[in-house]
């Protein structure tokens, strides 16, 4: 992989390419660019040759008069003149085009897992480690969606008291497997409710009215790659390799937005008052606390899909360990877990004041 020791600063009005623009996350990236009025001078929609001749909606800065972007075939030459390349086209595609992006002088913000654990590639969540983005050598990695929502909640807690151990159980929506995952859940549910059969195609087993305790492939230690990502990515983002992390990742029959039950043990003799912990979360950037048992208020995917924050609730002490708490966290993994986080990283690269 080609790297450079230094890059020209990103201009105030950069040329932005969205690689994988016809996919679920790519379309969401275009929508986020539009909604945040990202100050692009030009936006290019790139995809495979089979999408050439189609267009994708975009009405933000840098949009053509027709408010739709023609889809161009992605080639190594596509990145000439590009300042920021937002990639959501799969790890193999990112690896194939990384050299071309870097040679063109663009910054790749990659949503795949291809470079996340590479030394010298920052893994960035803007609310947590924004300064890391400025250490890039041409590539910045966007973390795994389930990791992003958890570390946004963990970071302010880690500043309050050092973390010792984190256990996470995830309830991940079908859209985590892309548009095909959402379609399979919807169509399979509809078919089963009308007495028809719908054999699994995207998932290993029936997802409608079921939960599948596997996301990604199994590793030698019995964990899945998705669970491994949550461990190593959390440690890298927090710059805390000493924090023990354990995860169990489960696919659930929800169309959009991931949920997680998180159990934290601090490296401390005792906890501060729970009200103080709640106040820290409420004051943290990107977090909305929804937590009132008296009114049955807590975050749920059905309420927060399409939103940008990380929602935290069910905050309580964990009496089974010293200095422990438990909480529930929900976020739209297509927004903050992918597209929004990538665009927020791009915002970090803009000249100060943009």
Question: What angle do helix axes 274-283 and 145-160 make, rounded to 10 degrees?
Answer: 120
Q: All domains of the chain, ordered by start, with CATH?
A: 15-114 (3.40.50.720), 147-335 (3.30.360.10)
Tens of pLDDT, residue by residue over 109-146, are: 999 999 999 999 999 999 999 999 999 999 999 999 99
Ranges of the chain whose pLDDT falls below 50: 3-5
Q: What's the pLDDT score for residue 4? A: 45
As annotated, the active-site residues are 145, 258
Q: What's the pLDDT score for residue 178? A: 86
Q: What's the pLDDT score for residue 67? A: 85
- 275: helix, strand or coil: helix
342's CB contacts (< 8 A; 6+ apart) are 29, 86, 88, 109, 111, 142
**Any idea of the CA torsion for 265, 267, 273, 277, to the nearest 10 degrees?**
-70
This prediction has a pTM of 0.94
Both structure tokens of 251: 């696919």
Q: Rounded to the nearest 5°, which phi and psi values hold at 61?
A: -55, 140
Tens of pLDDT, residue by residue over 301-318, are: 999 999 999 999 999 999
């Amino acid at each position: 992989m080609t790297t450079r020791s230094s890059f020209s600063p990103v201009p105030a009005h950069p040329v932005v390419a969205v690689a994988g623009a016809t996919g679920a996350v790519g379309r969401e990236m275009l929508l986020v660019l539009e909604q945040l009025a990202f100050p692009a001078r030009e936006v290019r929609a790139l995809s495979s040759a089979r999408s050439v001749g189609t267009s994708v909606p975009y009405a933000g800065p840098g949009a053509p008069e027709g408010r739709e972007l023609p889809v161009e075939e992605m080639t190594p030459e596509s990145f000439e003149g590009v300042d920021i390349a937002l990639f959501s086209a799969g790890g193999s595609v990112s690896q194939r085009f990384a050299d071309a992006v870097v040679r063109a002088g663009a910054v790749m913000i990659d949503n795949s897992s291809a470079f996340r654990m590479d030394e010298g590639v920052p893994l960035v969540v803007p609310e947590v480690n924004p300064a890391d983005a400025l250490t890039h050598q041409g590539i910045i990695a966007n973390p795994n969606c389930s990791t992003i929502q958890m570390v946004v909640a963990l970071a302010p807690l880690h500043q309050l008291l050092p973390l010792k151990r984190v256990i996470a159980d995830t309830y991940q929506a079908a859209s985590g497997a892309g548009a095909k995952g959402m379609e399979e859940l919807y169509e399979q549910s509809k078919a089963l409710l009308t007495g028809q059969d719908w054999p699994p195609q995207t998932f290993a087993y029936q997802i409608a009215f079921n939960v599948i305790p596997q996301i990604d492939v199994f590793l030698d230690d019995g964990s899945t790659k998705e669970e491994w990502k949550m461990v190593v990515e959390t440690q890298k983002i927090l710059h805390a390799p000493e924090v023990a992390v354990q995860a169990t990742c489960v696919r659930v029959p929800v169309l959009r937005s991931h949920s997680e039950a998180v159990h934290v043990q601090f490296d401390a003799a005792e906890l501060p008052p729970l009200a103080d912990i709640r106040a820290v979360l409420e004051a943290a950037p990107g977090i909305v606390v929804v937590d009132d048992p008296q009114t049955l208020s807590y975050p749920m995917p059905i309420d927060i899909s399409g939103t940008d924050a990380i929602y935290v609730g069910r905050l309580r002490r964990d009496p089974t360990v010293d200095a422990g708490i438990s909480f529930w966290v929900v976020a739209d993994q297509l927004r903050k877990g992918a597209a929004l986080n990538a665009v927020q990283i791009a915002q970090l690269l803009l000249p100060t004041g943009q």
